[in-house]
C-alpha cells in the first residue's frame, strides 16, 4: 500500500490479502494513497479488468504482486491532487493511466508519466478500455509484424478485449481482417467492429474454411492471444513468409511448436510483451502512443467498451472474463 496522506482520506478498494479465488476477495476501507514527488492522485471513474488481473489475484501470474495489494492496472478518472513539482496536470482534469496495480479503488497515486490527458469526448469507460489492448495491438501489428495494406490478418479470440482491438487496428492499417471466434454472437460482434469475414475455430474443418477464404494462400499475419491447439493449427495454415504474433495464452495452455514448421512455411514467430515495450523500446512506445491518441482524438478509433459493472459487483467482471464469455474489455464503474 502507498503511504498515508496527512489528512488521512479513507477510500474503498478491492484488497487482496491472500492469493485466492475472486469469490474470497473483498472490498475494504483503507487509507487513500498520499503523494510522493512527481506523483498525481486520481479519483477513479472507471477501471478495466483484464485476463492478467484475474491471474494476479490468484497468484498465478508470472510475477507476483507483494501482499496485500489492490488489483487493477488500467483506469480513467479525474485528477484529485498533484505534487508540487508536477506541472502538466491540474485538479479536475480528465485522465487515463496504467499502473502495476491499484486501479480497483476510489483513488490511485501514480507518477505523472503514467498518465495521459483524456480527450473530452471520450467517456471514462472507453478510456479505461483503451491503453493496454490498443497499444498491444498497434505494437504487434506495426512494430513487430509490419502489417502492410492489403495483407490478410487472422485474429484469434477476436471478440475479447485484446482481439477486438486488433480487428479495429488491422482495419485502420488497411488489412483484410478474418476474425476467428467460438460463438455466433462473438463473430457478429467482430463484424460490427470491422472484421471482413469470420471463422468458427471450434469446428474440426476450420482450416479448410480459412484456406477457402484466403484463396489457398493463408493469412499473412496471425494475431494470437489464445494459445493451445488452435495456435498450432493456425500456424500450419500461415502464408509463406507469414508472421505469427504470440500475444498470450487465454486458453490456459502454452503450445509447443515443432521447429520444422517455421522452416517449411518460411514463417516467423514474434513475441509481444506489453510490459517491456516502454523500457526496451522507448522511442517506439512514444511513436505508437502518439498514433493511438491521434486516432482517439480524431474519433477514427473508438475503444470498444464491453460489459460495465458497478464497483460493488466487481467479482462479476472477473467471472465474466475468466469464463471467456466477455465481448470487449470488462469495466468496473465507480460512483
What is the CA 67 to chain-centroid distance, rounded? 24
Q: pTM value? A: 0.90
Q: How far apart are CA 138 and CA 225, in angstroms?
A: 14
Cell of 85: 513539482
pLDDT in tens, 243-282: 999 999 888 899 999 999 999 999 999 999 998 998 999 9
Which pLDDT band holds residue 169 (cuts at 50, 70, 90)? very high
> Domains of the chain by range and CATH?
10-130+303-333 (3.90.180.10), 133-275 (3.40.50.720)
Burial class (CB in 10 A: 0-12, 13-18, 19+), 148: exposed
Structure confidence by residue, pLDDT tens digits, 183-213: 999 999 999 999 999 999 999 999 999 999 9
d(CA 89, CA 293): 17
> How far, CA to CA in Å, does 19 sit from each of 11, 27, 111, 315?
22, 15, 27, 15
Residue 302 grid coordinates: 473508438
**Cell numbers representing residue 288 in the block:** 505508437
Burial class, 264, CB count within 10 angstroms (exposed 0-12 / middle 13-18 / buried 19+): exposed
Amino acid at each position: 500500500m502507498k503511504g498515508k496522506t496527512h489528512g488521512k482520506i479513507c477510500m474503498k478498494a478491492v484488497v487482496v490479502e491472500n492469493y485466492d479465488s475472486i469469490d474470497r476477495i473483498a472490498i475494504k476501507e483503507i487509507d487513500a494513497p498520499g503523494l510522493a514527488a512527481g506523483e498525481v492522485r486520481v479519483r477513479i471513474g472507471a477501471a478495466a479488468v483484464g485476463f492478467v488481473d484475474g491471474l494476479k489475484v490468484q497468484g498465478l501470474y508470472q510475477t507476483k504482486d507483494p501482499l496485500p495489494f489492490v488489483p487493477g492496472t488500467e483506469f480513467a478518472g479525474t485528477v484529485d491532487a498533484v505534487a508540487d513539482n508536477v506541472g502538466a496536470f491540474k485538479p479536475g482534469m480528465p485522465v487515463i493511466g496504467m499502473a502495476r496495480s491499484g486501479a480497483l479503488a476510489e483513488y490511485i497515486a501514480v507518477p505523472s508519466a503514467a498518465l495521459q490527458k483524456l480527450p473530452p469526448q471520450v467517456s471514462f469507460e472507453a478510456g479505461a478500455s483503451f491503453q493496454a489492448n490498443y497499444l498491444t495491438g498497434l505494437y504487434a501489428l506495426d512494430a513487430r509484424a509490419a502489417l502492410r495494406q492489403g495483407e490478410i490478418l487472422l485474429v484469434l479470440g477476436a471478440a475479447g478485449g485484446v482481439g477486438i482491438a486488433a480487428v479495429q487496428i488491422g482495419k485502420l492499417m488497411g488489412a483484410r481482417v478474418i476474425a476467428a471466434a467460438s460463438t455466433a454472437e462473438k463473430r457478429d460482434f467482430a463484424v460490427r467492429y470491422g472484421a471482413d469475414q469470420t471463422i468458427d475455430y471450434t469446428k474440426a474443418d476450420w482450416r479448410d474454411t480459412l484456406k477457402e477464404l484466403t484463396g489457398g494462400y493463408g493469412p499473412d499475419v496471425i494475431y494470437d492471444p489464445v494459445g493451445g491447439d488452435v495456435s498450432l493449427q493456425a500456424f500450419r495454415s500461415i502464408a509463406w513468409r507469414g508472421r505469427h504474433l504470440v500475444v498470450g495464452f487465454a486458453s490456459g495452455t502454452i503450445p509447443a511448436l515443432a521447429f520444422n514448421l517455421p522452416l517449411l512455411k518460411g514463417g516467423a514467430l514474434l513475441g509481444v510483451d506489453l510490459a517491456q515495450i516502454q523500457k526496451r523500446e522507448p522511442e517506439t512506445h512514444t511513436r505508437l502512443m502518439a498514433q493511438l491518441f491521434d486516432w482517439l482524438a480524431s474519433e477514427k478509433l473508438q475503444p470498444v467498451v464491453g460489459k460495465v459493472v458497478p464497483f460493488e459487483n466487481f467479482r462479476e467482471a472477473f467471472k465474466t472474463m475468466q469464463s471467456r464469455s466477455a465481448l470487449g474489455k470488462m469495466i468496473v464503474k465507480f460512483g
